[in-house]
Amino acid sequence: MQRLAPALRQDNVPLDLISLIKTILAATKEISFRVSQAHLGGLLGSTLDENIQGEVQKKLDVVANELFKDILLESGFVKAISSEEEDTSVAGDPNGKFIVSFDPLDGSSNIDINSLIGTIFSIHQAPEDMAADNPDMFKQPGHKQVCAGYVLYGPSTMLVMTTGKGTHFYVLDRTHGGYLLVERNVQVPQDTQEFAINMSNQRFWQQPMKNYIHDLVLGEKGPRGKNFNMRWIAAMVGDIHRVLTRGGIFTYPADNKNQEKPYKLRLMYEANPMSFLIEQAGGLAMTSQGRIMDIEPDSIHQRVEVIMGSKNEVETCLSYYQ
Ligand SMILES: O=P(O)(O)OC[C@H]1O[C@](O)(COP(=O)(O)O)[C@@H](O)[C@@H]1O
Ligand SMILES: [Mg+2]
Ligand SMILES: [Mg+2]
């Protein structure tokens, strides 16, 4: 099995980007270790704080954020970072070539039940004409990402990453301490019989999504003429990993549960990086209005509707909105 750095060099990834990726992965190895120790005590439960989005922070959210932030800012490769757990962007090295957005722990509600969680990251070039403390640097659409990925702290610690030349799976080999390439150019099957959505929000969805899910649930007796299965891991990293592995549609649609917050997932450090991975694997990543990676962001913590996965199924879902 190929090691990570030679695999990246084979794809002609620039050396400075490889160095940044290695820095990110050093942080994930440390987080993976902390996650494996968390149930021994001290790291479970919530802090007394909320993040800027009004969500209670888990202790492990904060630990993962501090680790990731410190390692990145000390590296010299990064001009600024933005994180789910930071109010605004944090300045790094003024000469850093890249900016990194991240969700230090995705699936926080799974921490205390020892279920799937992960770290999501997205890398853009740093604009040369902006100061390191200018958060406007992050207002770049997803199609300008130079790299995106996640690390899943599951039974195996897995890295799934793209630099725009396919989506590849790596596994952390603890015997030598590095990530090994286990599957190159993963492809999402175009058709599927599996969907992922939080069904408890059904009464709050818009009518097109209600109609689409209604037809899936009718199975072979309905207009789709085939049965569908449902999965919900409650961690986007886990749900998207399943979609990349065996296909499916994953959606967090608009809802009117809270009028001020029609969407749940965040564009910069959840939807955009996952869209890059899904598209590089031959899938589609959309809102009901268009391609996620074409959205011009207006703020770091912006939320967005998400409909992504197997190409034909995403297209079928979108047809209900026409
Ligand atoms: O509470 P719900 O509706 O199950 O939401 C689950 C979704 O929320 C998230 O956990 C949000 O991520 P965080 O844990 O990073 O806040 C997604 O990963 C997941 O898809
Ligand atoms: Mg998240
Ligand atoms: Mg999170």
**Is this prediction's pTM over 0.90?**
yes
| CA of 269 relative to ligand 2 center, distance in Å | 8
Which residues does 89 contact at the CB level (< 8 Å), separation at least 6? 80, 81, 82, 99, 133, 134, 135, 137, 138, 300
What DSSP line would sit under 145-203, residue for residue? -SEEEEEEESSSEEEEEESSS-EEEEEEETTTTEEEEEESS----S--SEEE--GGGGG
Q: Domain 4-183 - what CATH class? A: alpha beta
Ligand nearest to the CA of 109: 1
In this predicted structure, what is the pLDDT of residue 59?
87
147-153, strands of its sheet edge to edge:
90-91, 78-83, 98-106, 118-125, 147-153, 157-162, 167-173, 178-183
| CA of 235 relative to ligand 1 center, distance in Å | 5
CB contact at 8 A, 165 and 260 = no
Please say if the pLDDT value at position 166 is more than 90.
Answer: yes
Closest-CA residue, ligand 1 atom 1, reads 234
| CA of 309 relative to ligand 2 center, distance in Å | 18
In this predicted structure, what is the pLDDT of residue 56?
74
CA 259 to chain centre: 25
Portions of the chain given CATH number 3.30.540.10: 4-183
Work out the number of other CB atoms within 10 angstroms of the CB of residue 103. Answer: 28
Alpha carbon distances (Å) from 3 to 20, 120, 159, 179, 180? 16, 21, 12, 6, 5
Pocket test for ligand 1, best of 105, 106, 121, 257 (most atoms within 8 A of CB): 106
Mean of pLDDT values over 105-120: 95
CB contact at 8 A, 84 and 103 = yes
User: Is 270 annotated as a binding-site member?
Assistant: yes
CB contact at 8 A, 231 and 196 = yes
Please say if the pLDDT value at position 92 is more than 90.
Answer: yes
ipTM: 0.97
Portions of the chain given CATH number 3.40.190.80: 194-319
CA 48 to chain centre: 26
Mean of pLDDT values over 79-105: 97
Ligand nearest to the CA of 270: 2
Name the average pLDDT for the chain: 96
Q: How confident is the model at residue 146 (pLDDT cuts 50, 70, 90)?
A: very high
User: Is 183 annotated as a binding-site member?
Assistant: no
Q: Taking CB atoms and a 6 Å cutoff, what residues make up the pocket around ligand 1?
A: 84, 103, 106-108, 198, 234-236, 264
**Rounded percentage of the chain residues whose pLDDT exceeds 70:** 100
User: Is 103 annotated as a binding-site member?
Assistant: yes
User: Is 106 annotated as a binding-site member?
Assistant: yes
Please say if the pLDDT value at position 299 is more than 90.
Answer: yes
Q: What is the CATH architecture of 194-319?
A: 3-Layer(aba) Sandwich (3.40)
CB contact at 8 A, 265 and 304 = yes
| CA of 135 relative to ligand 1 center, distance in Å | 25
| CA of 99 relative to ligand 3 center, distance in Å | 18
Model pLDDT for residues 26-64, shown as the tens digit of each residue: 999 999 999 999 888 777 877 767 777 777 788 888 999
